[in-house]
Structure 1
Amino acid sequence: MTAVPHAPLTQADGLLEGFLALETPEGFRAELIEGEIVVTPPPDGDHEDYIGLIVGQVYRRSRTEMQFSGNKGLTLKEAPGAPRDHVIPDGTFAPEARRLFRGADSWMPCEGVAMVLEVTSRRANVDRDVKRRCYARGAIPLYLLVDRDTSTVTLFSDPEDGEYLRRDLAPFGKSLPLPAPFGFDLETADFL
């Protein structure tokens, strides 16, 4: 019997293998974003409050019943020359009828996700720029960004070729329309 030679691991393959073997301290998140391992400490209370305010409105006001996960790992299309992105949004929404999270592995494909949510933290540029590109490459229809530094909420939509073509912004205190499948105006007065 002749042994079949294995192709050598590429740098991207080695990075992905190392990332998947990481053990992070409890409460920390490890993500592989555009070829970089990003480890994030547990969020502060204000960060979690913004998420809670949004989730509450989605559950009460959305035209489509939604599932929500605050810890769902998503695999997304890779950046050129990098391994497949592995991102954990602060929030992931999917239509309840799809039961998208049931039976899913720790890292699941992003097909069927209606919207992802990020609230800026210590590395705000990752949420503003890097994750925005990741979610657009994954063709996630809506990306909602709560930017605590600028006191704004931005909805990115219409992903195409690794970018979102549309950006709607509202300062804290103003409402921001969320299109279908949500179909309501997100109120941000409580963000002040």
Structure 2
Amino acid sequence: MVAMPAVEHPRTEDDVLRAFLELETPAGFKAELIEGEIVVTPPPDGSHETAFALLNRQFMRRAAVELDLAGTKGLVTPKGRFIPDGTVSPVGHFETADSWASPAGVLLVDRTDGNVTLFTDPEDGDYTAHVQVPFGKPLDLPAPFSFALDTAPLR
């Protein structure tokens, strides 16, 4: 009997991307490619959906312009392929899937730590500025939204 050593071939970025694009996730789960790693997330719970609805109502009622909301729009960014909980933009101005940089920024709600972070000023594949407030403090949003986001209901 001849034993052959197992040889593991290093995975290239193309291999990972191909595996990601071919991945079949269970209903309700979402898969994202984040900095070269495939991350699969289960469906959101009820409190997540409540928080999302609270934010959605503020954007639709208080923004300086009429907005469109997309629920599970995939985004291709320099750091990976993401499916944010929502993308909000002025009516008729949704970026294409390969457009990563929103001039108004990215809003990250961290329900575990109880804070909201706004990332702004896209440059060279990343956002160069951010402002973070704890739940309960208002967060000023730039144009085209132009209102202070009330984070108190997220507590």
Unaligned runs of at least 5 residues, structure 1: 1-9, 80-84, 111-137
Q: Against the structure 1 CA distance between its residues 75 and 163, is the aligned structure 2 distance closer, same or farther, given a 3 Å change threshold?
A: closer
2:150 pairs with 1:172: no
Quick one: which amino acid aligns to residue 47 of structure 2? D
Q: Distance in 1 between matches of 2:130 and 2:64?
A: 22
Return the offset for 1:157. 0.7
- CA displacement, residues 14-41 of structure 1 (integer Å, 9 cap, x when unaligned): 2211111111000000111111111001
SS in 2 for 1:156: strand
Structure 2: distance between partners of 1:191 and 1:89:
18
Q: Which of these residues, 133, 140, 147, is aligned with residue 102 of structure 2?
A: 140
The one-character-per-residue Cα deviations of 1:61-93 (angstroms, maximum 9, x if unpaired) are 10111111121111123x5xxxxx221011111
- After superposition, where does 1:30-49 map in structure 2 within 5 Å? 30-49=31-50
TM-score normalised according to structure 2 size:
0.84
Aligned counterpart, 1:116: none
| TM norm structure 1 | 0.69
Q: Does 1:88 align with 2:83?
A: yes
CA contact (8 A) 1:59 1:65 kept: yes
Q: Choose between structure 1 and 2: higher helix proportion.
A: 1
Question: What's 2:20 paired with?
Answer: 19
Distance in structure 2 (CA, Å) of the matches to 1:170 and 1:94: 22
CA-based RMSD of the aligned residues comes to: 1.8
For 2:101 and 2:73, how far apart are their aligned partners in 1?
17
Q: Which has the larger radius of gyration?
A: 2
2:76 aligned partner: 75
Structure 1 residue corresponding to 2:122, chosen from 159, 169, 183:
159
Uncovered stretches (5+) of structure 2, i.e. residues with no partner: 1-10
- Partner SS for 2:102: coil
Matched residue of 2:48: which SS? helix
Identity score, percent? 51
Secondary structure of the 2:59 match is helix
